[in-house]
Chains A and B, each alone.
Chain A
Amino acid sequence: MADKTFEIPIGPVHPALKEPIRFTFQVEGERIVGVDIKPGFAHRGIEFMGLRRNLIQVLYLAERICGICSISHPIALTQAVENAAGIEVPPRAQYIRVIVSELERIHSHLLWAGVAVHELGFDTLLHLTWKVRERVMDILEELTGNRVDYAIPIYGGVRRDITPEQYPLVREMIRYYRGLFEELADRLLNDASIRARTRGVGVLTPQEAEALCAVGPTARASGLRKDVRQDWPYLVYGDFGVKAITPEDYGLAPQGDVYDRIIVRLLEVAQSIDIIERCLEEMPEGEITSVPKVPALLAQLKKAEGEGIGRHEAPRGEVIHYIALEAGKEEPVVWKVKAPTYSNLMPWVPMFRDQEIADIPIIAASIDPCMCCMDRVYIVRDTVEREVWKEELLRLSWGKTDRIRSRIAGRSLRAAEAEHGGA
């Protein structure tokens, strides 16, 4: 067998994959010598739909890009639109956004931990982590009314306040997870069989992580201190001085393997708990939105002109929304979503190199891939699918930049004319 390379297809449907993507592995015996990754199976044309709806409806669409990241996309989108339309967000609303997004990080990381140990065949821990995850889900339901799709951010604020009766519930949850942290860390990090399956597996060196633009816990586990909350503070994160977490914070030199990714996510759960606690303490009283009436908000957005970028540190890394608005139009002219998984696709290639077939599920899971966030394009013409390569992709993006540039130039020309006419 050893002298023969054969291909093992994994996906788009496979028990190791929670969402569709296709890997084609070149394998020698049990050793992986190469991998080809083909995404695109979860593409639903959400941005296209968004360009035909008003901005309030776009917010609902953004929330439904992904069920696990259902606060990250709206937070990035609202920031982009507020940025473009110049809408202020009251301080209390910023705190509430931070609280809900950190709650999402806790539930997402616990969900990931369960999936990861399930890939290792350790179902006992899967059931433990998912059981303790229910607590944060209960709090999310209590605060927002939903377990998924929280519908909390709206342009200019949030849609629901946190009532005084809810404070003790959240504090109770904080105590619960603090008390649980030692046990979880012990179960996940000190277990011999987990260590045997994750130490030295799926290594991504800091150089590779840097060169391939890895984001989120994937980059941080390789030792890069890279976190939007630290590097480009937004909302009230700047006040908290959030620091990117690497395995060094656990007292270990980063090796960039799967084990380090477990450490980073576990520590981030603790970090999120601290942030939520500070939010509860420091959150000022006041308005939760600057434009409470939706029709007024819609009218204001319709008049807005310009472009905006919103970025947020989602549980999986940096999510970016770009939006361009034109006066007199209810719908955005451009809406572009870049999810963290897109940046973490290419780091898979060095991670898989020289690993074994048995490592495929845990390495695939280790970046916490989110296909429905990431799949933004799929090219089909006359029912024949087509692949786009680097050169064509570059040409297409140059073309798009040119189009945007000329539209912006045209807009500033119009603005100049209007100014001139006024004078």
Chain B
Amino acid sequence: MAALEALWQAAVVLVGAVLVGLGYKGVDRKLAARMQGRIGPPLRQPFLDLGKLLVKETVVPRTAVRWVFSSMPFLAVIAAASVLLYIPVGPFGPVLARHGDLILILYLLAVPAVAMALGGFASGAPYAVVGAQRELVMLMSYEFPLAVVIVGLAWRVAGLGVGPAFSLATLAANPLWTQVGPLGVLGLAFLLLALLVVTPAELSKIPFDIPEAETEIAGGLMAEYSGVNLALFYLADALKTLAMAALVVVLFLPYGIAGPLGIGGLGGQILDLAFFFVKLLAVIFAAVTVVRVAFARFKVDQIARGFWLPLTAVALAGLLLLVLDKAVVG
């Protein structure tokens, strides 16, 4: 019975995620266009794009390693979708709450990037290979600050002794901002900053879109993909965007409004769910849309240096402040 329940819950979450993910992609494109003084595509454009890609011919290059090339898009979508099953959706707990934790999410988030890189290497084209190399360098660059953020939060929650530290449900139920002293708030702010900078890199958006870099390597690791395969990567991108935004929301902004407003029951749950989606949009807007209209694309060495030194320093400083705070507050 529990398995059946998990099944329909997962179905609801995934169908919802596809709709919301593509919808938010449309909102992102529209807002970016307005900020650039353009009209922009209609909000439903991502749905049209996906539909069109699904009916287009799927070409596999002769030089490609066929099975790797064709299986990687599926792996990317599955991994991105799985992350969503471990994330609490507003007032509701994660679908697979008892089967995994933050460490698993950390790995699952890396899988789409690795899948894209493998697909790029497998396509056997120079642009795709360059793109795949860049994707791996990026992965190595942002994983450490990301890990520091997550470990820092988990360590602090463990100190509270309120439940399994690496469980997202525990983190969501115990927002840290109010549990720590002034030093800790500063530390959390540092960690949030680091996570917000990692987000566009994780999602390969400008200024970190170097694995695809249209004007440099003509789409990079996406260069040889077409039809259904490309549609799947497109979908994986939408899902991953949602997952990253949800992670930021759950880790740092897990507040609901139904409680403070005193609305209970079903109405409160619906209100909190709606508020959760508003928060997601706010994070996507701040970490993806605004950033990608405000910067030029960086080079791979600039990104690697920037993430390894200054950003890692910011994340570590946040962690250190949390430790100091723990020592002071106790």
Task: Give residues in A with beta carbon < 8 Å to B.
Answer: 1, 6-9, 14-16, 29-30, 117-125, 127-128, 131, 191, 193-194, 196-197, 356-361
Contacts and interface: CB of A to CB of B under 8 A. Distances in A.
Interface residues of A: mostly helix, strand, loop or mixed?
Answer: helix
Interface string B14-48: 00000000000000000000011110000000000
Contact of A121 (B35, B38, B297, B301): B297
Interface centre among A122, A124, A125, A191 (most CB of B within 10 A): A124
A127 B130 contact: no
Nearest to A29: B133
B295 A193 contact: yes
Interface string B113-132: 00000000000001100100
Chain B contact-residue range equals 20 to 34
Given A121-B295, A193-B207, 16 more contacts: A16-B215, A16-B216, A29-B133, A121-B215, A121-B296, A123-B36, A124-B35, A127-B37, A196-B302, A197-B297, A197-B298, A197-B299, A358-B216, A358-B300, A361-B215, A361-B216
A120 B126 contact: no
B130 A197 contact: no
Interface centre among A14, A128, A191, A193 (most CB of B within 10 A): A193
Contacts of B301: 30, 356
A114 B9 CA distance: 49
A381 B215 CA distance: 35
Interface centre among B127, B214, B297 (most CB of A within 10 A): B297
Interface in B66-111: none
Contacts of A131: 37
A196 B297 CA distance: 10
Q: A-B pairs with the 6 shortest C-beta distances?
A: A121-B297, A122-B296, A120-B296, A193-B296, A358-B299, A127-B36
A259 B295 CA distance: 16
B298 A193 contact: yes
Contact of B213 (A1, A123, A358): A358
B36 A124 contact: yes
A1 B35 CA distance: 41
21 contacts: A6-B126, A15-B214, A29-B133, A30-B301, A119-B215, A119-B216, A120-B297, A121-B295, A122-B295, A122-B297, A123-B36, A123-B293, A127-B36, A128-B37, A193-B207, A196-B296, A196-B298, A356-B299, A357-B216, A358-B216, A359-B299
Contacts of A361: 215-216
B209 interface: yes
A329 B133 CA distance: 63
Contacts of A123: 36, 206, 293
Contacts of B207: 121, 193
A87 to B, nearest CB: 46
Given A14-B218, A357-B217, A361-B215, A30 B300 contact: yes
Contact of B130 (A16, A30, A119): A30
Nearest to A17: B215
B230 interface: no
A193 B210 CA distance: 14
A197 B296 contact: yes
A128 B293 CA distance: 12
B294 interface: yes
Interface in B107-159: 126-127, 130, 133
Nearest to A358: B299
A119 B36 CA distance: 16
A414 B293 CA distance: 69
A123 B207 CA distance: 11
Interface string B294-317: 111111111000000000000000
A125 B38 CA distance: 12
B290 to A, nearest CB: 10
Nearest to B130: A357
Contacts of A16: 215-216, 218
Interface in B189-241: 206-207, 209-210, 213-218
Nearest to B133: A1
Contacts of A119: 215-216
Nearest to A14: B218
A124 B207 CA distance: 12
B328 to A, nearest CB: 36
Contacts of A197: 296-299
Nearest to B212: A121
Contacts of B127: 8
Contacts of A14: 218
B126 A191 contact: no
A9 B302 CA distance: 24
A245 B67 CA distance: 58
Contacts of A357: 130, 216-217
Contacts of A6: 126
Given A30-B130, A127-B37, A118 B215 contact: yes
Contacts of A191: 296
B304 to A, nearest CB: 11
B298 A360 contact: no
Nearest to B299: A358
Contacts of A125: 296
Contacts of B300: 30, 356, 358
Contacts of B210: 358
Interface centre among B207, B210, B299 (most CB of A within 10 A): B299
B295 to A, nearest CB: 5
A122 B126 CA distance: 24
Contacts of B213: 121, 358
Nearest to B209: A121
Contacts of A1: 133
A86 to B, nearest CB: 49
A29 B210 CA distance: 15
A29 B136 CA distance: 13
